[in-house]
């Protein structure tokens, strides 16, 4: 039998689990944005979308043309769902309001429209990440404060990976499911249900070039992994680094492992590289739903109350056993 389409899945969720139609509409709008971004990504140089846009984002990073295009696609597709009161994006310094001529709704959305930007021009996997929060007020006039909610409030989260296949990974809170886009029909179809991440791991992901800047807890944890079967962990570990968080998470969900982006001594005032609201919190929600864990080395990422929409955070996520261990090493210092 042909697997369920995303639309059929969302209808079933409405009928059987009381999913709010406005939330279903929002998720469908996101899937539409992802399909459009995926199409630009696939065309690459043929569509003239590669290279720099000539601008910087709020984090001071050079924006690629595709970063800007993806952001615009997301904003428009989401605004049209009439399901949100506002948006925040990794690529935009301020809160994005819904245009006055369009209705607002009871949700807020946070997104990284194109994650893994350094992979864009070299045709390696990239993705889009999103999370959906309740709107404290249904208004056209949202402010930063409305978004400063801990990840525990996330009602739905997911990502779309643009790799050899375009896949949408989604949680509405109860379980984690994966859809694969059928290139012939453009429909996202349910290809995996009840995704679970294994508790133990034999693979780790970290940018080793930063080793000399890591904190002692991370030095200790990684050095034990590197000692392999002869060391305290008594097994050999493999290492992978794709440099796109979406792709690392996608691998870990299917093959196990731990992903780390620790804080580092080059920027003592900066608590990590990754963004709490656009990257860490949605991925933490996904990991916890799949039975894994996610901390900043000290506490679950989902418990952190953001102080600002572009806040950064250290990230340790994936297999529970490994995340627990590296978190204990931080606490032991
Ligand atoms: O968005 C930030 C990001 O591109 C992540 O997707 C990825 O995990 C990380 O940065 C890669 O960092 P680095 O360039 O230090 O390897
Ligand atoms: Mn990113």
- The CATH number linked to 272 is 3.40.190.80
> Does one domain contain both 248 and 295?
yes
Burial 59-86 (b: 16+ CB within 10 A, else e): eeeebbbbbbbbbebbbebbbbbebbbb
> Does one domain contain both 181 and 268?
no
Q: Select from 140, 169, 192 the last residue of a domain.
A: 192
Cβ–ligand 1 contact at 243 (below 6 Å): yes
Cβ–ligand 1 contact at 75 (below 6 Å): no
Given ligand 1 and candidates 118, 260, 281, 314, which is best to mutate, with the most ligand atoms within 8 Å of its CB?
A: 118
Q: Select from 128, 160, 192 the last residue of a domain.
A: 192
What six digits make up the tokens of 12? 């079933």
> Does one domain contain both 113 and 154?
yes
Q: How far is the CA of 32 from the centre of ligand 2 (A)?
A: 20
> Does one domain contain both 39 and 168?
yes
Cβ–ligand 1 contact at 267 (below 6 Å): no
Cβ–ligand 1 contact at 115 (below 6 Å): yes
Residue 197 resides in a domain: no
> Does one domain contain both 185 and 248?
no
Given ligand 1 and candidates 162, 261, 263, which is best to mutate, with the most ligand atoms within 8 Å of its CB?
A: 261
Residue 306 resides in a domain: yes
- Which protein residue has the closest C-alpha to ligand 1 atom 14? 243
> Does one domain contain both 307 and 166?
no
Domain that holds residue 31: 6-192
> Does one domain contain both 296 and 157?
no
pTM: 0.97
Q: How far is the CA of 63 from the centre of ligand 1 (A)?
A: 14
Residue-level pLDDT at 333: 67
Residue-level pLDDT at 63: 83
Residue 35 resides in a domain: yes
Give the C-alpha distances (Å, rounded to integers) separating 117 from 91, 123, 133, 150, 200: 11, 11, 25, 26, 30
> Does one domain contain both 62 and 180?
yes
Residue 188 resides in a domain: yes
> Does one domain contain both 291 and 256?
yes
> Does one domain contain both 160 and 256?
no
The number of distinct structural domains making up the chain is 2
CA 274 to ligand 1: nearest atom: 2
Low-confidence residues of the chain: pLDDT under 50: none
Residue 136 resides in a domain: yes
Residue-level pLDDT at 13: 97
Handedness of CA 97, 103, 109, 111 (dihedral sign): negative
Q: How far is the CA of 243 from the centre of ligand 2 (A)?
A: 10
Residue-level pLDDT at 22: 98
> Does one domain contain both 19 and 168?
yes
Distance CA 80, CA 169 (A): 22
Residue-level pLDDT at 57: 81
Residue 198 resides in a domain: no
Residue-level pLDDT at 273: 96
């Amino acid at each position: 039998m042909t697997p369920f389409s995303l639309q059929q899945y969302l209808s079933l969720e409405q009928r059987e689990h009381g999913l709010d139609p406005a939330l279903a509409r929002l998720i469908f709008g996101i899937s539409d944005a992802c399909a459009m971004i995926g199409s630009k990504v696939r065309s690459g140089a043929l569509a003239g979308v590669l290279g720099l846009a000539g601008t910087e984002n709020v984090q001071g990073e050079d924006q690629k043309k595709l970063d800007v295009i993806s952001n615009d696609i997301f904003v428009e597709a989401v605004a049209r769902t009439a399901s949100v009161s506002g948006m925040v994006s990794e690529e935009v310094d301020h809160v994005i309001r819904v245009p006055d001529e369009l209705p607002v709704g009871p949700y807020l959305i946070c997104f990284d429209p194109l994650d893994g930007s350094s992979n864009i021009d070299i045709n390696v996997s990239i993705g889009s990440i999103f999370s959906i929060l309740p709107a404290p007020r249904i208004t056209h006039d949202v402010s930063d404060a409305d978004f400063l909610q801990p990840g525990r409030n996330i009602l739905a989260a997911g990502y779309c990976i643009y790799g050899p296949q375009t896949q949408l990974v989604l949680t509405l809170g109860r379980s984690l499911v994966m859809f694969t886009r059928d290139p012939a029909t453009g429909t996202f179809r349910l290809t995996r249900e009840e995704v679970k991440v294994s508790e133990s791991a034999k693979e780790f992901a970290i940018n080793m070039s930063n080793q000399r800047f890591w904190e002692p807890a991370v030095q200790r944890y990684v050095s034990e992994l590197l000692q392999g079967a002869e060391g305290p962990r008594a097994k050999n570990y493999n290492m992978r680094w794709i440099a796109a968080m979406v792709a690392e998470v996608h691998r870990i969900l299917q093959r196990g492992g731990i992903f780390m982006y620790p804080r580092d001594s080059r920027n003592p005032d900066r608590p990590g590289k990754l963004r709490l609201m656009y990257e860490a919190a949605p991925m933490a929600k996904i990991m916890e739903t799949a039975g894994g864990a996610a901390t900043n080395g000290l506490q679950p990422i989902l418990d952190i109350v953001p102080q600002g929409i572009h806040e950064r955070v250290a990230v340790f996520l994936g297999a529970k056993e490994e995340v627990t261990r590296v978190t204990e090493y931080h606490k032991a210092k």
